[in-house]
């Protein structure tokens, strides 16, 4: 038992030395990820699946609701082409609002809400999202992403 605890603590110390933590929610990290999120919305709203996919790492994954895991940047681009085509036919525009951004060494997580609106400004769909970002070559890129849709309240 003592050996296990010692190994666990040693591993934690090694990881901390290898990936020094910045202050959780660091302003620089928040600003960088909020800027990337803005590019995400702009690419979606312009119908640019290639620009949207460029925000993901090569080995990224999307864990979309009601679907299979989408693996890799090329598959992610194809996924977004289909989603954008569907949204564009209904005049849908999307806005993401980060609520929490926190860094953990070379990775950061982001949680937020998203709203899709119709051309008349009414809400078409809304929900929550969670993104795991990883820093590569000085830039934050999406590593894992998932979201859900807000549905009608269920009766209990």
* Tens digits of pLDDT across the chain (156 residues): 433 333 333 333 333 333 333 344 467 999 999 999 999 999 999 999 999 999 999 999 999 998 999 999 999 999 999 999 999 888 999 999 999 999 998 999 999 999 999 999 999 999 999 999 999 999 999 999 999 999 765 554
Q: What is the pTM of this model?
A: 0.79
Domain limits, the chain: 22-149
Give the CATH fold of the 22-149 domain.
Answer: Nuclear Transport Factor 2; Chain: A, (3.10.450)
Contact by Cβ (8 Å): 132, 145: yes
**Mind spelling out the 3-state secondary structure of the chain?**
CHHHHHHHHHHHHHHHHHCCCCCCCCHHHHHHHHHHHHHHHHHHHHCCHHHHHCCEEEEEEEECCCCCEEECHHHHHHHHHHHHHHHHHCCCEEEEEEEEEEEECCEEEEEEEEEEECCCCCEEEEEEEEEEEEEECCEEEEEEEEEEECCCCCCC
């Amino acid at each position: 038992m003592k050996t296990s605890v010692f190994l666990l603590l040693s591993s934690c110390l090694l990881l901390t030395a290898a990936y020094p933590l910045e202050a959780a929610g660091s302003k620089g990290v928040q600003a960088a990820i909020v800027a990337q999120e803005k590019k995400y919305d702009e690419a979606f709203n312009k119908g640019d699946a290639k620009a949207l996919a460029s925000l993901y790492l090569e080995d990224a994954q999307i864990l979309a609701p009601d679907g299979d895991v989408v693996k890799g940047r090329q598959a992610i681009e194809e996924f977004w082409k289909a989603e954008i085509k569907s949204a564009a036919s209904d005049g849908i525009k999307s806005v993401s609002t980060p609520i929490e951004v926190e860094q953990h060494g070379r990775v950061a997580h982001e949680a937020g809400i998203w709203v899709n609106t119709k051309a008349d400004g009414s809400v078409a769909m809304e929900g929550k999202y969670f993104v795991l970002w990883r820093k590569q070559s000085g830039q934050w890129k999406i590593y894992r992403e998932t979201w859900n849709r807000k549905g009608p309240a269920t009766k209990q």
